[in-house]
Structure 1
């Protein structure tokens, strides 16, 4: 997997649990078009603390351009921002 750390737009489900559940996200492709990726399955989630910044890491599976791929998402708790960390 390649480290990207690109900001993304996320649709997530917030329930009574501790962390949000990601459903699908949109990112800008290299050619400038928008790419929407639906998350089929969350393999695991864990909280990490990097330089005092709390983040939640999600390893997910989804279909990207007709290929099943595994990727990692990060949710920054303090700023409520989502990032595509690895793909």
Structure 2
């Protein structure tokens, strides 16, 4: 996997217990166009702490341009920001 670390816009829903379920995200490409990726499956959810900031790390799988890809997106609990970590 390649480290990307780009901010993304995410559509997600939360259940009664507060668990996050990401649905799709949008990322800005290098040519200033946007690409929307629908999250096919969430394979794994981890909690990590980076410099005192807790983050939820989602390992997901989707079909991107007809190819199944596995990637990781992060949600920073303190700032409520999303980022694409690895693809």
Q: Which TM-score applies when normalising by structure 2? A: 0.94
Query: Whole-Å Cα distance in 2 between the matches of residues 54 and 19 of structure 1?
Result: 15
- Matched residues, number: 87
The CA deviation at 1:17 is 2.8
Query: Whole-Å Cα distance in 2 between the matches of residues 72 and 56 of structure 1?
Result: 10
Name 1:14's counterpart in structure 2: 14
Residue pairs, 1:59-70, within 5 angstroms: 59-70=59-70
Query: Whole-Å Cα distance in 2 between the matches of residues 20 and 33 of structure 1?
Result: 27
The CA deviation at 1:11 is 0.0
1:25 match: secondary structure: strand
Query: Whole-Å Cα distance in 2 between the matches of residues 10 and 17 of structure 1?
Result: 20
Are 1:28 and 2:37 matched, yes or no?
A: no
Q: Which TM-score applies when normalising by structure 1? A: 0.94
Unaligned runs of 5+ in 2: none
Unaligned runs of 5+ in 1: none
1:58 match: secondary structure: strand
The CA deviation at 1:45 is 0.1
Segments of 4+ in structure 1 off by > 3 A? none
